[in-house]
């Protein structure tokens, strides 16, 4: 079911500062910020030869990232995103095996313009999982 790792997401309290660190200190290529109001975040992607790192900060007080940063003020790993070929088939298989899909269970459009779903971290060793259809 799982394809390659699409990205690892890191929640940060200051996206501009984190972007500068990745560009200047690590010499990375970083995309321009992209606001995703439907997900409550602003994101940039660090482009790597084999995957991406997503840096995300809250977009408004109701953002789920704001709650994460309240518990982890310096930021930290938020989720890992795996690619799947058919997100509906993956969702149905996971639900049939007892995994919990967050939200209403219907895919939303993610930062790459593709359908995404999130899986409950309690079902996956404490790690929030994002699935993205490719």
Residues serving a catalytic function are 130
Three-state DSSP state, 38:
coil
Nearest-angstrom CA–CA distance, 75 and 60 = 16
The half-sphere exposure of 9 on its side-chain side, counting CA atoms within 13 A, is 23
């Amino acid at each position: 079911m799982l394809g390659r790792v699409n990205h690892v997401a890191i929640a940060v309290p200051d996206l501009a500062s984190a972007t500068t660190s990745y560009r200047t200190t690590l010499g990375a290529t970083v995309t321009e910020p992209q606001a995703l109001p439907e997900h409550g975040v602003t994101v940039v992607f660090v482009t790597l030869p084999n995957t991406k790192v997503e840096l995300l900060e809250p977009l408004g007080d109701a953002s789920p990232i704001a709650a994460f940063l309240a518990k982890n003020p310096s930021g930290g790993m938020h989720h890992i995103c795996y690619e799947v070929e058919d997100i509906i088939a993956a969702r149905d298989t996971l639900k049939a095996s007892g995994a919990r899909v967050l939200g209403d269970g219907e895919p939303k459009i993610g930062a790459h313009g593709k359908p995404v779903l999130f899986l409950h971290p309690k079902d996956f060793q404490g790690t929030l999982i994002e699935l993205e259809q490719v």
